[in-house]
Amino acid sequence: MAGLRRVRRLILVNALIFAVLAAAVALAYYAFSFVSNETSRYRERAMRDLAAEKIFNIEASILREDQKLFGSPLPLETFIARLPELTKDLGVMSVFVLDEQRKLITGGYYSARLGQEGTSFRDWFLKAVVPDLPLAGRTPETRGHRHAIWGGKPYLFSFVKKLSVDKKPYYIVIEEHLPNLVAFVFPQYFQNFEESNRIYQVVDRTDPHVVIYTDTGLPIEPGEGAIGVLEPFVETVDMWQVRVSERNEQVRNEMARKRLIDSLLIGGAVAVMLSGLLVLALAIRRERRANELKSEFISNVSHELKTPLSIISMFGEMLANGRTKGPEQSHEYAEIIWRESVRLGRLIDNVLDFAKIERGMGVYEFAETDVGEVVERAVDLVGRRLTTAEMSIDVDIDPDLPHVKLDANAFTLAVMNLIDNAIKYAADGKKVVVKLTRQGDRIVLVVRDFGPGIDPEEQEQIFERFYRARAVRLKPIRGSGIGLALVRHIARAHHGDVTVTSTPGNGSTFQLWLPI
């Protein structure tokens, strides 16, 4: 039941982590595509506005010129008489003044084409073009225009209907100077600056491949990633349209840079999230494991407290009741009581010290000390237990060791824990070797036993709090799993460390070192 619940919680946590990750990636993708869409939309809008503005200005300049003739207040006869003079500075090719029947009024023709060419153009215009112009039925004084192909060539004609003094209608038709428009007016408006990343072109409205005007020798079509917009002329050359496009290589560079920055930012954000989730997952796992170990620890400690207590009370009761066979047995019982109470005291010491360390309290008091002496004292303290376990001990302490700063009580506890473990787990080996030497700028304490050794997989884990090796969990060897954690904590508090080397079946060697 509990197992099922745990599995369900595990699945939920993992699903949640996955969901957060998916949401983060989706958000990143959304941000990326939104930003890139928005910038290209913005660029396109800006270019469209630009094209519209250019068109407006060009058409306004043509309309302004037209208006000088179309809006002339002169009576018809005077207008005709002064036609060459009025037309002189305007960018027009020809001007025709037609009567109600759309016949040329005498003298009502001016042209930049000279001589014979002018005459034949006039005749051709009256015959071929006039029937195509929507002159009849116009509102007086409103300008009209027609941009079309006649005889294979494009022409732009602007026209207006006017009323003479006696209310008779007549028409003024202007043939605009298209070569002039392309050669001089367009370049004025479509100036191509070096630093500008835009290209202007005028292309055919039905077939944008037909280029009327281009401000540069660059390719006509916008390249990959570049944007091009098309805007038609409205009131003049409406067979044509303006194309604004971005210079390819500049756009490409800019896009590449933007893409790089975007990917770096988004990638970085995702990486941060990922590592956050990873840390979280690890923390959850570690916490779960610590909790499991903690409950195991509580049951171990309770067990460890109970056993010596029941031994003490049992033998104490026997002594109290005088149920002994003589002073020798009394002595033996008292010794058992004494041994068990010492063991109890050590366990309580361990637990209390460990609790202090867990709460992060400053528990160490350092002083210049002779390490050799400290180790000797620790060996003395465990001497009796060694004898009881029928083990011998070899102690080899380098007499010339320098004094170091250490907490003697804590260090004694560490040494005793190491020797105690050898007694507890390696009594079969019959022997413990304790060696204290100097190695370079370190003082190294070696505690070697000849017991069953430690599985390589567990050699790092045994230093974790509450951890007990698989091999001993099933055996009736008492332990709480905090001894080695305490040893490591003490070693590190002295800026040293503790390590183990062991081959199963061949004993273990614990090395505790301190810097000098």
Paired strand residues for 175: 94, 157
- Please tell me the distance from the alpha carbon of residue 265 to that of residue 171, in angstroms, as a whole number: 67
Q: Which residues of 141-157 are buried (b: 16+ CB within 10 A; e: fewer)?
A: eebbbbbeeeeeeebbb
Cβ of residue 30: shortest distance to ligand ADP, in angstroms?
52
- Please tell me the distance from the alpha carbon of residue 440 to that of residue 516, in angstroms, as a whole number: 9
Nearer to ligand ADP, 205 or 435 (CB): 435
Strands 211-214 and 198-204: antiparallel
Nearer to ligand ADP, 181 or 484 (CB): 484
- Please tell me the distance from the alpha carbon of residue 185 to that of residue 202, in angstroms, as a whole number: 12
Nearer to ligand ADP, 172 or 423 (CB): 423
> Directed axis angle between helix 483-493 and helix 327-358, to 10°?
60
Cβ of residue 339: shortest distance to ligand ADP, in angstroms?
18
Nearer to ligand ADP, 108 or 481 (CB): 481
- Please tell me the distance from the alpha carbon of residue 70 to that of residue 63, in angstroms, as a whole number: 10
Nearer to ligand ADP, 248 or 508 (CB): 508
Cβ of residue 496: shortest distance to ligand ADP, in angstroms?
18
Q: What is the dihedral angle through the alpha carbons of 498, 504, 505, 506, rounded to the nearest 10 degrees?
A: -40
Nearest to 239 by CA among 134, 176, 148: 148
User: Tokens 């304490």 label which residue?
Assistant: 445
- Please tell me the distance from the alpha carbon of residue 326 to that of residue 221, in angstroms, as a whole number: 117
Nearest to 331 by CA among 308, 315, 348, 353: 315
Strands 404-406 and 367-369: antiparallel
Nearer to ligand ADP, 480 or 511 (CB): 480
- 119 with 103: CB under 8 angstroms? no
Nearer to ligand ADP, 369 or 509 (CB): 509
384 to 161, 349, 388, 391, 481: CA distances (angstroms)? 132, 19, 6, 10, 23
Cβ of residue 412: shortest distance to ligand ADP, in angstroms?
15
Nearest to 26 by CA among 260, 256, 273: 273
Cβ of residue 420: shortest distance to ligand ADP, in angstroms?
8
User: Tokens 């320098």 label which residue?
Assistant: 402
Residues 6 or more apart whose CB falls under 8 angstroms from that of 94 comprise: 109, 110, 111, 112, 113, 118, 121, 122, 125, 174, 175
Cβ of residue 451: shortest distance to ligand ADP, in angstroms?
5
Cβ of residue 332: shortest distance to ligand ADP, in angstroms?
27
Cβ of residue 305: shortest distance to ligand ADP, in angstroms?
13
Nearer to ligand ADP, 336 or 416 (CB): 416
Nearer to ligand ADP, 111 or 421 (CB): 421
> In the sheet where 198-204 sits, what is the strand order?
211-214, 198-204, 240-246, 228-232
Cβ of residue 293: shortest distance to ligand ADP, in angstroms?
11
Residues interacting with ligand ADP, by CB under 6 A?
Answer: 417, 421-422, 424-426, 449, 451, 454, 462, 467-469, 472, 479-485, 508
Cβ of residue 503: shortest distance to ligand ADP, in angstroms?
12
